[in-house]
Structure 1
Amino acid sequence: MGLSMATAARWVERWEGQQQRYAIDRQERFTVIADVVEHMTVGHSTPLVVDLGCGPGALAAELAHRLPAAEILAVDADPLLLELGRTHYGSTVRYVETVIGEPGWLKALALHRPLDAAVSTTALHYLCTKTLRRVYRQLAALLRPGGVLVNGDHLCQDAPTIAEIAGVVGRRRAERQHAFAHEDWDSWWSAAAADQELADLLTERRSRRLPSSEENDLTLSAHVALLHEAGFRHVGPVWQFGNSQVLVAVR
């Protein structure tokens, strides 16, 4: 039995609420990322953009809305989240199931030309440093000259005291926005497990070897260094609130 649009919409809405617990000003971060991609693809008739670790694909859908002529790929390893997005957002985005950084993941993208942009939000910190270094190099090779990587994530300052202060600022902001009133990660998945319409997708999900969270603890400057090492010419943050940042790297 296929997933109904109503069920997909309900679970995507709950997912977005849940994610607000973990990403300060999540929608503003999406808007900033879309601003960067739009600016960097001016004059390109059909930009090719990949969203890494997309979940159900809210960022990919926003990019499709902002750049209606673009080809948008939304990439994730979780078949349940991908199907929620595919059903809810429709054909404006091409969904790809693969594990970022593992052997063969680039082949799964079936790219037929260089990328104009690669984006990610609250996903790349799950990769260990060794894998992230490899992924940065791979993306640099895939992007056209002048192409851009835009990463919105938790990126701490190098000075521990400043990082601590930024963390406090972020938590205060989240409290003012009532972000912690949303359900958490475990609650979302527990509730999803009780929905019979998701049963087949949950079975499919259990059959996959989903990536383990190896989490790197790299600071902002460490990310900048890795990106320069990978071949990006210009690297720096363009937006920050607390330790939540949008980091831009231009090929």
Structure 2
Amino acid sequence: MGVSMGTGSMWVERWERQQQRYAVDREERFAVIADVTEHLCAGRDRPLLLDLGCGPGSLSVRLARRLPRAEIVAVDMDPVLLELGRTHHSDSARYVDAVIGEDGWTDALELDRTVDAAVSTTALHYLPAAVLLRTYRGLADLLRPGGALVNGDHFPPDDSPCSDLTAHVGRRRAERTGAHGHADEDWESWWRAAAADPELTGLFEQRERSRSSSGGGNRHLSVDAHTELLHRAGFRHVTPVWQVGDSCVLVALKG
């Protein structure tokens, strides 16, 4: 079921282009996550990083460039994206197939020490709130004292008129930077095209068999709501460190 290097490279490159539609200032957000992670790992010889909902390794490869001595464990449940990551970004991380938030999911990571930083970008919003709280608790157990969860995602304000404003600012920012204009396909068309590639047929069959039906998600949760859940999970300090529109990097430090 392996994917050739040429096929892996093509689909990852197309993934990178279409993802520009969905994350305001995507590269800057990646850079901020790397800035925070680098700061947290200063002076540590071989930091251990956990990339949650890694997809094809977009964040992992950027962190590996910034912290070349780090060990990165990248986890996702999608066999298509995991195989593309293993093929195109094989040197960046150890890729693990696990369903984040399920009972025992952290056991599949096979970690030999505590984690310095858990990072994520546009992934944890798929978890229902109760599963998200359980996930936050599991991460608090994995992290060393002083370690952190660094999560880049969209966090709309609780107040609907304010939510409309932040979404509008994000859209206008994307228009000014030309992010939408540079992407020749969107999420749905990328998946349709990839599913038609004969080299990926077996992976898509596996994807259909393993697809989670948990549903729900937490896209409506604000920074304040996430902060409350993080405090309940054992994180002592929580703060946003960067925001454009409702795209934000939220950092939760373990005391």
Aligned residue in 2 for 1:240: 243
C-alpha deviation, 1:211, in angstroms: 5.0
* Residue deviations 1:197-232 (CA, integer Å, cap 9, x gap): 111221222221335442112111011111111111
Give the TM-score normalised by the residue count of structure 1. 0.96
Aligned residue in 2 for 1:178: 178
2:222 to 219, 224, 228: 219
SS at structure 2 position matched to 1:221: helix
- 1:46 and 1:130 map into 2 onto residues whose CA distance is 33
Matching residue's letter, 2:235: F
1:192 to 188, 191, 194: 194
Structure 1 residues 1-251: aligned runs within 5 Å: 2-181=2-181, 182=183, 183-210=185-212, 212-216=214-218, 217-251=220-254
C-alpha deviation, 1:19, in angstroms: 1.2
Give the TM-score normalised by the residue count of structure 2. 0.95
Tell me, yes or no, if the aligned pair for 1:77 and 1:211 is still in contact at 8 Å.
no
Unaligned 5+ residue runs, structure 2? Answer: none
- 2:195 and 2:96 map into 1 onto residues whose CA distance is 23
- 1:35 and 1:65 map into 2 onto residues whose CA distance is 12
SS at structure 2 position matched to 1:235: strand
Tell me, yes or no, if the aligned pair for 1:99 and 1:211 is still in contact at 8 Å.
no
- 2:214 and 2:178 map into 1 onto residues whose CA distance is 30
- 1:171 and 1:212 map into 2 onto residues whose CA distance is 30
SS at structure 2 position matched to 1:23: coil
CA-atom RMSD, angstroms?
A: 1.3
C-alpha deviation, 1:150, in angstroms: 0.3
Unaligned 5+ residue runs, structure 1? Answer: none
- Count of aligned pairs between the two proteins: 251
- 2:125 and 2:92 map into 1 onto residues whose CA distance is 27
